[in-house]
């Protein structure tokens, strides 16, 4: 009896869990889902404007061709008479008179060019509704208004079957997938930083004094305080320049998370010093110490040369 009650409670609890999950899935869209639906909505508006433009062009071409065809239609009416009279006497004259004395009448009172002209086909409204209006409505409903519902259904009912059934294996597989994507994106970002460091060396002597230059008063005092003009060169996240970390030796800017990942060192400076390259994307302890020792020796030699020059 107790076993049956436990099974009944288990079934009731599972049913309540399903109802609770269903209620959660039917709730209104969150702010993130609304933000993700903006881009499809903009694309839908652009597609609608393009379709309206094509319909207007189609209607204009039909009106233009109809006017051209109707104005090119011509009708000509004319009437001409011809009379032949034979005068004379004799056998030949009598023969010609009898031969030509036949009344033949051919009447062509008008000539037109309707057989050369064909009227353009009027655009069918039902075809527009079938191939344009209905697909646009379905696209608005499925891709914009209820896109979050479709994503929830895929995540909750279809996505679990795409992974192994066991939770541990599924989590490990999912973590490895995320880690692989993160590693790939970080590798691409580091290659961009190394390219940017090389370009900074080339453009080091160039100065830009325009009012939109990076060091202009208008950008520093107005644009940087209103818009997110700063960007982390590693994760490429736009944010206000106040929240970024700046390198004192180069124009590189990083967010706090990327600075923690690189151990507090500037990745662009490490790329310039040769600590990191296409083969070694992350510095090791030995390479870091050797690079620091090499930089110290170069700085010491520079100071010695300057001292000799002063002497």
The yes-or-no verdict on residue 10 having pLDDT over 60 is: no
Task: Look at residues 233, 49, 28 and name the one whose alpha carbon lies nearest to residue 145.
Answer: 28
Nearest CA to 190 out of 228, 131, 236, 247 is that of 236
Q: What is the mean pLDDT of residues 12-36?
A: 64
> By the 8 A CB rule, do 33 and 25 touch?
no
Q: Give the count of beta carbons closer than 10 Å to the beta carbon of residue 285.
A: 7
pLDDT exceeds cutoff 90 at 44: yes
Q: What is the pLDDT of residue 305?
A: 55
Q: How far apart are CA 223 and CA 197, in angstroms?
A: 25
Angle in degrees, CA 295, 298, 300, rounded to 5: 110
Question: Is the pLDDT score of 24 beyond 50?
Answer: no
Q: Confidence class of residue 307 from pLDDT cuts 50, 70 and 90?
A: very low
Strand partners, 77: 110
Q: Measure the CA angle with vertex 242, ends 237 and 245; round to 5°.
A: 65
Please give the Cα distance from 146 to 153 (Å, whole number): 11
- The residue written with tokens 């700063």 in the block is 230
Residue 62 in contact with residue 143, Cβ under 8 Å?
Answer: no
Predicted local confidence at residue 145, as pLDDT: 87
Average pLDDT over residues 36-48: 91
* Pairs from 201-210 (Cβ < 8 Å, separation ≥ 24): 201/272
Least confident of 13-17, 109-113, 155-159, 225-229: 13-17
Tell me the C-alpha distance between 228 and 215, whole Å.
Answer: 16
Q: Residue range 207-218: average pLDDT?
A: 65
Q: Would you state the pLDDT for residue 42?
A: 92
Task: Please check the confidence at residue 58 and state whether its pLDDT lies above 70.
Answer: yes
Whole-model pTM: value is 0.41
Encoding tokens for residue 288?
């870091």
Confidence band (pLDDT; 50, 70, 90) for 195?
confident
Across 141-149, average pLDDT: 87
More confident residue, 271 or 211: 271
- Out of 27-31, 56-60, 206-210, 224-228, pick the least confident: 206-210
**What is the residue-averaged pLDDT of the chain?**
73
More confident residue, 18 or 43: 43
Whether 104 shows a pLDDT value over 70: the answer reads no
Q: Where are the domains of the chain?
A: 2-71+120-168, 210-273, 282-311
pLDDT at 57: 93
């Amino acid at each position: 009896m107790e076993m049956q009650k436990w099974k009944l409670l288990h079934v009731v609890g599972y049913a309540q869990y399903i109802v609770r999950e269903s209620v959660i899935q039917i709730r209104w869209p969150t702010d993130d889902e609304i933000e993700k639906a903006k881009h499809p909505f903009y694309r839908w508006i652009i597609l609608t404007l393009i379709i309206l433009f094509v319909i207007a062009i189609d209607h204009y071409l039909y009106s233009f061709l109809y006017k051209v065809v109707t104005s090119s239609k011509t009708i000509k009416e004319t009437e001409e008479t011809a009379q032949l009279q034979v005068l004379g006497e004799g056998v030949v004259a009598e023969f010609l008179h009898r031969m030509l004395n036949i009344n033949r009448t051919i009447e062509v009172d008008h000539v037109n060019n309707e057989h050369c002209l064909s009227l353009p086909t009027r655009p069918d409204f039902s075809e527009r509704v079938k191939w344009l209006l209905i697909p646009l409505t379905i696209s608005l409903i499925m891709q914009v208004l209820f896109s979050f519902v479709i994503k929830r259904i895929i995540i909750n009912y279809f996505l679990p079957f795409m992974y192994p059934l066991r939770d541990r294996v599924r989590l490990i597989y999912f973590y490895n997938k995320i880690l692989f994507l993160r590693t790939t994106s970080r590798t691409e970002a580091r290659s961009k930083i190394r390219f940017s460091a090389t370009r900074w060396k080339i453009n080091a002597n160039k100065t830009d004094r325009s009012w939109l230059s990076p060091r202009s008063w208008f950008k520093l005092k107005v644009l940087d305080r209103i818009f997110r003009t700063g960007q982390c060169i590693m994760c490429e996240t736009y944010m206000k320049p106040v929240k970024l970390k700046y390198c004192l030796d180069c124009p590189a800017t990083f967010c706090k998370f990327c600075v923690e990942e690189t151990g507090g060192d500037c990745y662009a400076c490490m790329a310039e010093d040769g600590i990191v390259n296409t083969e070694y994307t992350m510095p090791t302890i030995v390479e870091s110490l050797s690079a620091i020792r090499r930089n110290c020796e170069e700085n010491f030699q520079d100071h010695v040369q300057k001292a000799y020059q002063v002497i």
